[in-house]
Structure formats: structure tokens, C-alpha cells
Amino acid sequence: MAKIKSVCVYCGSRAGVHQDYAQLAEDTGKILAEAGITLVYGGGQVGLMGLMARAAMKEGGSVVGIIPEHLDQAEIAQTGLSELHIVTDMHSRKRMMFDRSDAFIVLPGGMGTLDEFIEVLTWSQLDLHDKPIFLLNHKGYWEPLLALLRHVTAEGFANPSNLDLFITAPDLDYILEVMKEMDEPRTPAKADLF
Ligand code: AMP
């Protein structure tokens, strides 16, 4: 039985140009639901976000959506979620997504996904939390980002050990296997410093 009970997935509000991104998003929703893990995400019905949420719901999974009111037009809140939270701003959204989750998975996505990944990574770098972060490097999608992060450390702007603060995963099965062995993260001692 996994000790990780809820996972926040960051992913694109668009579906990308290749059909297999959509498949990956649907597989993610389905697999988390089958594993009895609550999916926490941005609450929209567009792009990979919506595909993933609907796949999880179809499988009977628990899905928590968190959307800022100003994005309800652009990302359109998904109906039928176990919980939908409409918050005032982006910071409240990201904070609530963080608080409600034991771990993070980063799927292919755009600027928003990059922002979300880098933010939880830097919070980890600052020792504000120790929740696991999985970068799902689907078909090498995140290789350019990994190269940039290696460059940043090689040039002396981050400790090379910071590259160990996230786990690069080739596929979902790998993530599920690693999660099974993980303990529940400790309650963030410094959550009030975010
Ligand atoms: P994207 O990867 O750009 O498609 O965005 C994925 C999700 O991240 C969407 O729900 C966006 O609303 C959200 N997002 C966009 N910009 C930001 C940002 N600066 N900070 C946090 N989330 C964002």
C-alpha cells in the first residue's frame, strides 16, 4: 500500500502536437486512480490537464482541482471533480496544490508547467519541504531542461547535489514503483516561509 496518498500533477493546458501526449495524460489519470492516489491539479478542462482529470474520474479516482477565478474563462473549470476550489490568485492556487499533495509529477507542458516545476524544486533547494518531485521525461521531452540545469550547476550557480532533488523518470510505471517504496513526506517544517 503506497504511503503517498495524493499527487499533484503539473502539465500543459494545451495538448501538444503529438497524440501520444494526450495518451500519456490519460494514462496518468487512470494509473493514479487505479492506485487509489488522489490527483491534485489545476482544475481546468483544457489540454493535458483536462484529459488527465477526466481519465482519472472515469476510473473512479478522487480528483481535486484548484483554479483561480480569473482563469475560469481560459481554462474552464472541469465539472464532476471530487473537489473544485476556486481561489483568488495564482499564488493561492500553487500554495493549495502544494499543501494538498504528498508528491509531484511533471508531465510535458509549457511555461506554466515549467514555472510550477522550478518553484517546487527551489522550495526543496531551500529545504522548505522534502516532498518527492518526479520529472516525467516522456520520450526525452525534458532533455533540453535537464541540459540547462546541468549547465547552471556546471557554471557554479547551483550545487550539483541540487540535481538530486528531483527524480527523472522514463515512464509512469517507474514512478509508481519508486513511490511504493517511499515514506510519507514529513510535514514541512518551514511551510510558513513560502
Ligand atoms: P502551461 O504549461 O503554460 O500550459 O500551463 C500549465 C498550467 O500552469 C496552467 O494551469 C496555467 O494556468 C498554469 N500557469 C501558467 N502560468 C503560470 C505561472 N506563472 N505560475 C503558475 N502557474 C502557471
1: pLDDT strictly greater than 50:
no
Q: Is 185 in the pocket of ligand 1 (CB under 6 A)?
A: no
Can you give the pLDDT at residue 142? 98
User: Which SS3 state, helix, strand or coil, does residue 81 take?
Assistant: coil
Checking if the pLDDT of 189 tops 60, the result is no
Q: Residue 138, Cα to own-chain centre: how many angstroms?
A: 14
User: Considering the domain boundaries, does residue 165 fall inside one?
Assistant: yes
Residue whose CA lies nearest to ligand 1 atom number 7: 112
| Tens-digit pLDDT profile for residues 17-64 | 999 999 999 999 999 999 999 999 999 999 999 999 999 999 999 999
Burial 99-136 (b: 16+ CB within 10 A, else e): ebbbbbbbbbbeebbeebbeebbebbeeebbebbbbbb
* Domain tally, the chain: 1
CA 155/CA 138 separation, integer angstroms: 27
Predicted confidence (pLDDT) at residue 79 exceeds the cutoff of 50:
yes
Q: Residue 192, Cα to own-chain centre: how many angstroms?
A: 21
pTM of the entire structure? 0.94
Q: Which helix (H) or strand (E) holds 103?
A: strand 103-106
| End-to-end Cα distance, the chain | 31
Neighbours of 54 (CB within 10 A): 19
Mutate which of 10, 87, 90 to test ligand 1's pocket (most atoms within 8 Å of Cβ)? 90
- What is the 110 CA–ligand 1 centroid distance (Å)? 7
* Residue 57 is assigned to a structural domain of this protein: yes
Distance 4 CA to ligand 1 centre (A): 24
Q: Where are the alpha helices (DSSP H) in 35-186?
A: 47-58, 90-99, 111-125, 143-154, 172-180
pLDDT at 188: 59
Per the structure, the complete domain to which residue 140 belongs is given by 6-182
Q: Which atom in ligand 1 lies closest to the alpha carbon of residue 67?
A: 10
Domain annotation covers residue 188: no
Over pLDDT 70: what percentage of the chain? 94
**pLDDT tens readout for residues 178-187:** 998 887 776 5
Among protein residues, the one with the nearest Cα to ligand 1's atom 16 is 112
| Domain containing residue 33: CATH number | 3.40.50.450
Q: Is residue 189 part of a domain?
A: no
CA 84 to ligand 1 centroid distance, Å: 17
Q: For residue 150, what is the DSSP state?
A: H
Span 88-122, pLDDT tens digits: 999 999 999 999 999 999 999 999 999 999 999 99
- Does ligand 1 lie within 6 Å of residue 29's CB atom? no
- Tens digit of pLDDT for each residue in 131-161? 999 999 999 999 999 999 999 999 999 999 9
The pLDDT of residue 90: 95
